[in-house]
Structure formats: structure tokens, C-alpha cells
Structure 1
């Protein structure tokens, strides 16, 4: 790969949490000379705009049309990944219990809601915080709003034509993974001739950099694992709070699931 960094893109990896962020990061870091910058949380969009050539950063930023235009004006490429919100909800419960102990719901799960069904309901429906639960670094003083309310604006990026939107389920499918990675390559470079490298070689470099064992947040990564965890009550509550969201995303054709 040539050393000329002017040929390297500036990349924002934006994602719905628990949707394969680390998998996508590993894939893009397989591109020679791409280096990873800091994670930027919501509210730090201005820092994202200062990306350098060859730099890649990660965030979970909700859709904003003005921010989208700023990214375009600075030639920053956004690769966005999302996942079935039901699997995101299940993964969040496990992640909070096992690793994310500073999340406001961790204390709720440890002290008040001790079984998985109730914990999943809290993630789906939201829950009022009481007592010491209100003292947290996340800034939630009274209530956790529920996962659809918390994340639905991030999903809106999939409608932005300037963004390379990826479905997590396609990325972990052996039959579709190469096609998805080629989509990323075509998005990052209109023409690979200036790089002096074949597209198939870039594909292999990106694909061969995948290593789930190096991911702190990786648990199972399966698609559709919600079916093993959702009770009928969880299903009713999810449908009540999300409406036709899954249909709009293409995960269901109706609400009879």
C-alpha cells in the first residue's frame, strides 16, 4: 500500500450500540495505514469533524441533517451499522450485568429486578430510577427511557444516501460478508487505481483482520438470539413501545411474530 496518506479516507464508524461496532472496527482496521482515534460520545460531534486523513473514530451519534452536511463538507466517510433491536435489547441486558457496571440499570438489576424477563422489560419499556440509582455518570436523573426511545434516532442514518449503511446480520453471514465488505471498499474509494492495490486484496486484508476474541464487548454475536430470550410478555411490551419499527427496518413483514 502506498505511503501517501492523501489517498486514505477519514472514517467515522457510527453504530447502534451492541450492533457489531467492534467487528466493523476490526474490518476497517484491516486497511493498511488506517489508525484508530478516540471514541467520541454524543455531544462531541465537533471533535469528529476534526478527523485527519487515515484516521478512524467510533461513535453512537443520532441522526442530524446538519451534522451530515458537515461530514460531507469535510470529506468524512461515515460507515453505519445497525442490528435487529430485539437482539440489541437482549445483548444490552447481558452487557450491563456482566461488564457495564456503571450503567444506571446495573444497580436496578442487582437490587430490584433479579430475573432476566423483568430486566429485559426494563430495557424495553424504560423504568423510573429511585434513590441512589439517580446518581450516575450517565446523567439519568429520574428515568431510563427504554431502548427504542434511546436509540431510534441513531437508526435514522440508514436513510441518509451519503452514508454507507450496513446490516449486522449481513456482515456475520458467510454468504453475504464479502459483498458487504466490497460495499465498504466502493464507498471509501471511487477508484482504487491510485492506491496500486487490487480490490480483492483489500477485501482479504479487511476480512482477515476479524478476531472476535479481541473484542471486550463480544458475547455470542448471533442473529435472532432474541427468540431464545423473549417471553410472551417481553414480546407484547416490545410491540407496544416500538410499533412498526421492525417492519420499517425490514426485519418483519407484520407484527405477528
Structure 2
């Protein structure tokens, strides 16, 4: 039986869309940082919605629901139940919070009254078939009951995706420079990094800024991933493996990575067919999608500065340094 629940940690601009595409092809629906294609969005049946509502809604709120009498109100309320449940699990898993303005705007309201069980129920009571994808997680703040459930049951299956941090830094610069890099508003990127990088015209100066701002989302994402990188119950994969020939990788390496992730999730797939679909322009966060592009953009001074500040990440994640130590 395939794994019912998946947790993915994938630092910003490390090829999260490739992991998402793979999981969608494996039949999962997506919740978290990336914007999934239509076929990857959570879409619950009436039975699933009733189960969620009965488990997590305040009893009085649940008794007022009647999908036969008012289907629109039922769908609207159960959509809010899912949103509240998903946000509760962001807190319990101590992941970097989603800050899409649609989710935090006053117009969103507070939703229906929920049962206290939303803060204590096991992760196994979340809807099956969901892959939860986040950029980073704080293991010291994770709900101990979630960690205990993972240790005792092996669920959710955890995947860590990473990429050469030098390409990540360059991709962050490109992403935030493209009209804030966003089709939706997200803070602090929209408020800080986008305007700053848009105001800098020289490409080399943009990289200088990214190397100097301690708040750029690189070091935090990668350092929080180190514990997962070394964990025996985590499947590790990389952008360089998944991107395939279109992004500077290899056919066989890509197919081997697809098979490894699928096997981790107890699925048997046609790796050739799935691999052909991973590199897709429909991901709006995709810019160049090519491995090793930092070599074309970094000056020798950039390389030296990067290794002085982030060289330990290159060592830990297995990427070769250019500057002799």
C-alpha cells in the first residue's frame, strides 16, 4: 500500500516544483508552499468533508451542517475547516509559516468555531493522500506528539530535497527581481527583498546584496534541513538529480531518483514516463531551471565571499568548493 501522508522539506528555490510534480504524478494532492497544478489541489469528497467536520468542528457547529439542505454553506464551512486544520498543523510541525495575504487578510475572518482536538489529534487523522510541502522546519519546536507518532508509525513519510546553495542564492536573486517574483503577495519577500532587488540595476550588485543581507532565506532554510539530511528515516533527493537533461542533469540519474522516491512511498511507477513530465514550464516559480548556473553569474569575488559565509553548507550537502581552504 502506498504511503498515505507525506511531509517534504525543500528549501526555497531548491527545485520544490520538481518534487511537487513528481508527487502529483504519484497521485498526491499538495498543501504548503508551492502552488500546485489543478490536479494536485486538495479536493475532498462529501464523505471526507463530513469526517473532517465531525472530528474538528465544535459539536454545535457540526450539528448545524446539512449538505442536503444547503450544499453551498456546507462546502464553504468545510473549506474553512480544512484551512484551520492545515494552519494548526503548520504550527504543530513548526514549519516556516505560509504568509500568503489571502490567508491572513481580515476579509478571511476567523472561520467556524473548532474543537480543541485540532491541537491534539494525531497526524494520522488528517485527510489521506496529501503531501505537505514546506521550506523549513524547526525540530526543537515541533509538537512532541507528532515526532512520537513519526517514530512509532513511520508516518508521514519524510522527503528532503536540496540544491547547490550557490544556485539557490542566484535563483533567489532572479526570483525576487521579477516584479517581486510573485503572482500573489507574500511577506516579507514582497515588502523587503523584491523592492530592494528591483531597485538594484547591476546583476553583480544584486548578488553582492544577497550575500550581505543576513535575512535572505538561504542559511536558515539549509541549516534547518541538516538534521533531516542525516536522518535514516528520511529520503533525500536533489534538484540536480530530478531536473534531468533539460536542466543540465542526466537521463539515468533522473530516472533513478524517481524510482528511489517512488519506492520510498511504496509505489511502483514507470520512471521513464514520470521523468518526462517533471520539467514543466507551468510552474510559475520556474525561471531558468538549470544546474550550475551560478558559474556564469558569480565573479571570483562572489565565489570567495560565498564560501567564506556559506562554505559549510557546500561541505554538508556534498557540493564541491571552488576556493582552496
- What's the TM-score once normalised by structure 1's chain length? 0.75
Correspondence 1:137-216 to 2 at 5 A? 144=215, 147-149=218-220, 151-172=222-243, 173=249, 174-189=251-266, 199-201=268-270, 203-204=271-272, 206-216=274-284
Matched residue, 1:80: 160
Greater CA radius of gyration, 1 or 2? Answer: 2
Give the structure with the larger helix fraction.
Answer: 2
1:148-176: CA deviation from partner (whole Å, max 9, x where unpaired): 24532234421111111112111123221
1:117 aligns with 2:197: no
Q: Are residues 35 and 82 of structure 1, via their aligned partners in 2, closer, same or farther at CA, if it must alter by over 3 Å?
A: same
1:89 aligns with 2:163: no
1:104-127: CA deviation from partner (whole Å, max 9, x where unpaired): 12222233x332222212222216
Matched residue, 1:15: 10
Q: Say which SS state the counterpart of residue 31 (structure 2) adopts.
A: strand
Segments of structure 2 that go 5 or more residues without pairing to the other structure are 34-85, 96-122, 183-188, 244-248
Paired with 2:317 and 2:211, the residues of 1 have a C-alpha distance of 17
Once the two structures are TM-superposed, the CA of residue 45 in structure 1 deviates from its matched residue by: 4.3
Correspondence 1:26-37 to 2 at 5 A? 26-32=21-27, 34-37=28-31
1:55 aligns with 2:142: no
Paired with 1:124 and 1:69, the residues of 2 have a C-alpha distance of 38
1:190-210: CA deviation from partner (whole Å, max 9, x where unpaired): xx6xxxxxx343x35533442
Q: Are residues 233 and 69 of structure 1, via their aligned partners in 2, closer, same or farther at CA, if it must alter by over 3 Å?
A: farther
Paired with 1:219 and 1:117, the residues of 2 have a C-alpha distance of 18
Match of 1:106 among 187, 190, 194: 194
- CA-based RMSD of the aligned residues comes to 3.0
Paired with 1:235 and 1:160, the residues of 2 have a C-alpha distance of 30
Paired with 1:239 and 1:8, the residues of 2 have a C-alpha distance of 39
How many residues are paired up?
A: 225
Q: Are residues 155 and 96 of structure 1, via their aligned partners in 2, closer, same or farther at CA, if it must alter by over 3 Å?
A: farther
Paired with 1:254 and 1:121, the residues of 2 have a C-alpha distance of 18
Q: Are residues 225 and 211 of structure 1, via their aligned partners in 2, closer, same or farther at CA, if it must alter by over 3 Å?
A: closer
Q: Are residues 240 and 8 of structure 1, via their aligned partners in 2, closer, same or farther at CA, if it must alter by over 3 Å?
A: closer
Paired with 1:85 and 1:103, the residues of 2 have a C-alpha distance of 24
Match of 1:24 among 14, 19, 24: 19
Could you tell me whether the CA contact under 8 Å between 1:19 and 1:81 is conserved in 2? yes
Segments of structure 1 that go 5 or more residues without pairing to the other structure are 1-5, 128-143, 193-198
Could you tell me whether the CA contact under 8 Å between 1:126 and 1:147 is conserved in 2? no
